[in-house]
Amino acid sequence: MGMTSADRETLRRLASKVAETARHPANADHDRAWRDLNALRRGARPLVWINEIPWGEMNVNDELTLRCSDPYARGIEDHFRKTIYQWEHLRGHMIVEPVYYCPMAIRDTGFGISQQGHNNPTGAQGSIVSQEFTPQIKALADVDKIRRPEVSVDRAASAALLAQAHELLDGILTVRQRGVAHQWFTLWDNLIRWYGVQDAMLDFTLNPELVHAALAKLLDAFLHRLDQYERLGLLCPTNGPMRVGSGGYACSDELPGNDGAPGTVSASLQWGCANAQILSDVSPAMHEEFSLRYDREWLSRFQLTYYGCCEALHNKMDILASVPNLRKVSMSPWANVDTMVERGGSKYVLSFKPNPAVFADPDRWHPEWARKELETVLAKTRGCCVEIILKDISTVADKPQRLWEWSDLAVAACERGG
| Interval 56-82 mean pLDDT | 97
Query: How far is 236 from 102, CA to CA, in rounded Å?
Result: 12
Helix or strand holding residue 75 (H, E): helix 71-89
Chain segment 227-274, per-residue pLDDT in tens: 999 999 999 999 999 999 999 999 999 999 989 999 999 999 999 999
Given a cut of 90, is residue 416 above it in pLDDT?
A: no
Burial category of 167 from C-beta neighbours within 10 Å (exposed 0-12, middle 13-18, buried 19 and up): exposed
Strand duo 117-122 + 128-133: pairing: antiparallel
Orientation angle between helical segments 197-206 and 208-231, nearest 10 degrees:
120
Q: Indicate the pTM of the whole model.
A: 0.95
- CATH number of the domain that 173 lies in? 3.20.20.210
Express each pLDDT in 342-390 by its tens digit: 999 999 999 999 999 999 999 999 999 999 999 999 999 999 999 999 9
Asked whether residue 31 carries a pLDDT value surpassing 90, the answer given is yes
* Mean pLDDT value of segment 23-45: 97
Residue 411 confidence (pLDDT) above 90: yes
Element (H, E) at 298: helix 293-299
Quick one: pLDDT band at residue 69, thresholds 50, 70, 90? Answer: very high
Residue span of the structural domain in which 353 resides? 5-416
Q: How confident is the model at residue 2 (pLDDT cuts 50, 70, 90)?
A: confident
Predicted local distance difference test score (pLDDT) of residue 141 = 98
Question: What percent of the chain shows pLDDT beyond 90?
Answer: 94
Least confident of 126-130, 133-137, 295-299: 126-130
CA dist 310 and 354 (Å) reads: 11
pLDDT of residue 123: 59
Tell me the average pLDDT of the chain: 95
Count of domains for the chain = 1
Q: In sequence order, what are the residues at sequence separation of 6 or more whose Cβ sits closer than 8 angstroms to the Cβ of residue 106?
A: 151, 152, 153, 154, 179, 180, 234
Q: What is the mean pLDDT of residues 136-152?
A: 98
Report d(CA 132, CA 319) in Å as an integer: 32
- With bands split at pLDDT 50, 70 and 90, how would you rate the model's confidence at 125? low
